[in-house]
Amino acid sequence: MTASDRGLEAVLAPFRERLDEAALFCDVDGTLAPIVPRPEDSRLLEGVPQALAGLRERARLLAFVSGRGLADLERLVAMDGCAYAGNHGMELHRVGREPELADGVEEHLAAVARFVASWPPERLAPGDLRLEAKGATLSVHARGARDPEAARLLMAQIASEALDRGLVPTPGREVLEVRPPVAVDKGTAVRALLRGTGARAALYIGDDRTDADAWRALRALRVEGALDVAVGIAVAAGEVPPAVREAADIEVPGPAGALGVLRHLLQG
């Protein structure tokens, strides 16, 4: 066992020992699925669905938290008996309940739709950008742009116009997210999905700045006495900012490393 393996074992052991009263939260893109140029082409890494199925049967809660729209997230993961949070927690689907919007989101849907309409393909073309409308939020993708500087400048313009309209632009890995001005993020999502489950341990695995919100929320719940164990794991690749990696308890290498974590949890 390498030093890295021993470190992972030490972090995961308290969670694995209480798996029957634990909640496992997973980001998807860049975590369970490799990043691809077009989000619609994304697929879970081979071996991930089988590991998730095993954990769904053993853990108190298995949940997926993503910047994707809820319907798209559920299509990609395609697993029943799990909880889902789409659009960074703007959309929630608890086990056994109907999907719902987080508090305060609905009143901003029209403003988001108007902003989407203000950026037709011809306005995005100079930066070779693609806009993905997701209802409660939108994403502007720069991955694969032929002129990165032109893409950067146009992304800055989109962010500025979003602010002018009272929306909140948030940069990610070659993507700009535009959200309504509500206090909702992946941290509020994990709090909402944990409510009423009785889980006393929680682990969240992700790869971006938005996932750090979830790590902070779990640690706060531990301080508040709502959790006994809180673990944050960063799925590190070349594009993952150092600040994200530093915010986690430990890091693993790419989606293959995330799969290793899932399989490690099943060994108990």
Looking at residue 134, which CATH number applies to its domain?
3.30.70.1020
Give the separation between CA 138 and CA 141, rounded to whole angstroms: 10
The pLDDT score that the predictor gives to residue 1 is 36
pLDDT category at 5 given cuts 50, 70, 90 is: low
Angle at 222 between CA 221 and CA 225, to 5 degrees: 85
Please check whether residues 169 and 126 belong to one and the same domain. Answer: yes
- Give me the mean pLDDT over the 65-79 stretch: 96
Quote the domain boundaries for residue 152.
106-179
- pLDDT (0 to 100) of residue 4: 61
Measured CA to CA, the distance from residue 173 to residue 69 in angstroms comes to 17
In this predicted structure, the answer to whether residue 238 has a pLDDT above a threshold of 70 is: no
Classify residue 26: in a domain, yes or no.
Answer: no
Report the range of poorest mean pLDDT among 50-64, 109-123, 171-185, 238-252.
238-252
Instruction: Give the total number of structural domains in the chain.
Output: 2
Residues 81 and 110 occupy one common structural domain: no
* Residues β-bridged to residue 92: 85, 100
Residue 241's pLDDT band, with cuts at 50, 70 and 90, is: confident
Percent of the chain with pLDDT over 90: 85
One domain for residues 40 and 71: yes
pLDDT at 172 (0 to 100): 82
Query: Does 142 reside within a domain?
Result: yes
Is-contact 244 55, C-beta < 8 A?
no
Angle between helices 254-265 and 48-58 (to 10 degrees): 30
Q: Is the pLDDT of residue 266 over 80?
A: yes
Q: Which pTM value belongs to this model?
A: 0.90
* Domain membership flag for residue 51: yes
> What's the pLDDT tens digit per position in 34-53?
988 888 899 999 999 999 99
**Residue after which a domain boundary falls, among 179, 195, 222:** 179
Residue 71 domain-assigned (yes or no) = yes
Residue 246: predicted pLDDT: 82
